[in-house]
Structure 1
Amino acid sequence: MPSRSDDPVARALSEAVSRIADAVRAVQASNPVVLVDGRSGAGKSTLARLLAEHWPLRTDPQLIALDSIYPGWDGMDAGAERAYEQILRPHGRDLVGTWQRYDWDAGEYAESYAVDPSRGVILEGCGALTPRAARIADVRVWVESPEPSRKRRALDRDGELFRPHWERWAKQEVVHIRRDDPIGFATLVVSIP
């Protein structure tokens, strides 16, 4: 995967994708589950998208963002629970899962999407890596990044929409980290500057 050697973020993402792809190959399954967790703005979505683009297996993975499932700004735990029940648990049992996209503007769940158990899954988002989810996942990634970088990236990405919710969301992240120990369950920890 090409990266610009003068861009430390691009270089770190490229190296992380390579490490995760190696871990996916090592699983020796056609339908591995990869969880990508980390705090807001750490680079999870970009990393997951790049991994999907450079997926090392023949059949493309299903990329699912928890941002599409959280039921609003106070919904980290509820979104992670829905993902476990509707995506990870059925996939782990070789059953078709179905999840609903949350419409942030309407404040309600909208259309549904099927999850094919014969294909791999990349589930990314804050709260993805819990003790229960870790038991189902094949590759578990925690993305580290310094707070100033995270905040800048998150606000650049979501602008004024996210600014009033930064602290509110950060409190949920802290609860998740203390309660669920996602770093302790990670098979790979990657750092993005």
Structure 2
Amino acid sequence: MKMNKTLIASIFTTVLLSQSVMANNTGTVTFAGAITEQACTVPSNQMNQQIDITGITPESLIAADEDESVAERAFTFNVTDCPAGLTNVGIKFDYNPDSSNNQYLSNSGTATGVAFGITDKNNVLKNTSEVINADNYDGTTGTATVEAKLRAYRVGTAAPETGTVESTATVTLITN
């Protein structure tokens, strides 16, 4: 009888141990997904590009009035594959503003007396986080072209110094 009690106790302990081992071999995996609208597309070489303005001279800056543009370069963003239901698209520019004028981009280069500004195709300066909208959005084809300009402006009245003009803006495609 003592042997039966020991055998029963051993079997009971084995069952308890195997259940606790089995409990450690189970778990929960959570799966998630999302249903999202189709996004518009802009070529990566337009979303990540370098726009150069050449030919800015100290003489052209000295001859210009303060806040006058002395050079410019147009650039575009070709938007395609937009889903139905949109009314327009645009590009938002985020940048650190210059201390002399918050519509100019901060110059991290070595030149003085000049700063860059971003405008729409009609030369209207844009503040940081402002959007330049396309004026030709076609909802049927889901396409548009956003036209912008980088302009160099005379800053201050002190004599300009030669060097580099370097600024950066983060661009984001905006849909509405």
If the TM-score is normalised by the length of the shorter chain, which range does it land in? under 0.3
Structure number with greater Rg is 2
- Kindly indicate which of the two structures has a greater share of residues assigned to helix: 1
Q: Could you tell me the TM-score, scaled by structure 1's length?
A: 0.24
- Kindly indicate which of the two structures has a greater share of residues assigned to strand: 2
Q: Could you tell me the TM-score, scaled by structure 2's length?
A: 0.26
